[in-house]
Copies of this chain bind each other. A is one copy, B any other.
């Protein structure tokens, strides 16, 4: 494996017993823990307080994914509005007159040009925390994890058994999955977005000569809740480290690697969206993911296709790597109820009297 020296040096120098299964309650201390490697004591102190306040802000407001995406979009626009001179064509008096009397009803929408801010949110543990609050899972349901900055809307629909990756240097992987509800009933017509890097650890869109989707596809579950496809064995990879977020990680003394994983996103009119990923067991970065995404229930051990009949049925060679997983979705109604119950319990624990607007807390009017 490439980078074996740096990997072993990294994992040996870190004591990271709690870096998996991060929850709303334990994520903050874990982010502090990994940032504790920073040799700049002042920077370490400031980032420790920043992370505490940012996480508390999310917990206190039960910030939703939609709201956080709107905030990221806002910050991106602020950054992109910055220029040397901040030139402005003078508005007319009437524009000035009216602009401060009326709230602009700008639609909240998901940003599509905010990758570096999403990355910043990811490495500070905010993304995972927001997802955990917004998409709570009852016991038995598949857990969610960070979306990451590399989901695109370019992926094409493929049939079961189709291949998502063209990289000839990748190790072939057969992926066999099912999707069910919390009572075990097979779910048909669930749309599943899957994406992964190539064998060098890069997503298609990271290449300057990128010319169409690769390493990604959209499938639809059949009447037995089954979906299956051919891919390549995921590899660990560094998140983009050439930008300001990569420089911050370096200043914090942190590595920028994610453990090997494959992304899955499930959509269905009745079921709560599930954004998740499967992680390979024994990956060197399993307990020090740069973006805090790993959960025990999402770690899988790869198998092998050993039976000739199975190999023939799925059109792969005997000995091929095999990833199997059974996903469990909760309904939007279940998720909404659980989100409300969790929020009410959290607000009560904080001693706050709140009302709920669209399911989100606001202080009661005096």
CB within 8 Å of B: which residues of A? 2-3, 5-6, 9-10, 39-42, 44-46, 49-50, 53-54, 56-57, 60-61, 63, 67, 74-91, 93, 96-97, 99-104, 106, 112-117, 120, 149-150, 200, 202, 205-208, 210, 238, 240-251, 253-257, 357-358, 360-363
Contacts and interface: CB of A to CB of B under 8 A. Distances in A.
Given A57-B50, A87-B205, A115-B82, A243 B6 contact: no
A80 B79 contact: yes
Given A89-B208, A210-B87, A256-B100, A116 B78 contact: yes
Counted per complex, copies of this chain come to 2
A238 B99 contact: yes
Given A104-B247, A250-B104, A82 B80 contact: yes
A86 B205 contact: yes
B362 A41 contact: yes
A187 B75 CA distance: 43
B87 A76 contact: no
A253 B86 contact: no
A244 B77 contact: yes
Chain A to chain B: the 8 pairs with minimum beta-carbon distance, closest first: A79-B79, A86-B115, A53-B53, A100-B255, A77-B244, A81-B116, A81-B243, A85-B205
A33 to B, nearest CB: 15
Contacts of A253: 103
Contacts of A208: 87, 89
A363 B48 CA distance: 11
A248 B75 CA distance: 11
A31 to B, nearest CB: 15
B100 A244 contact: no
Contact of A90 (B5, B88, B202): B202
Contacts of A82: 76, 79-80, 113-117
Contacts of A3: 93, 96-97
B90 A207 contact: yes
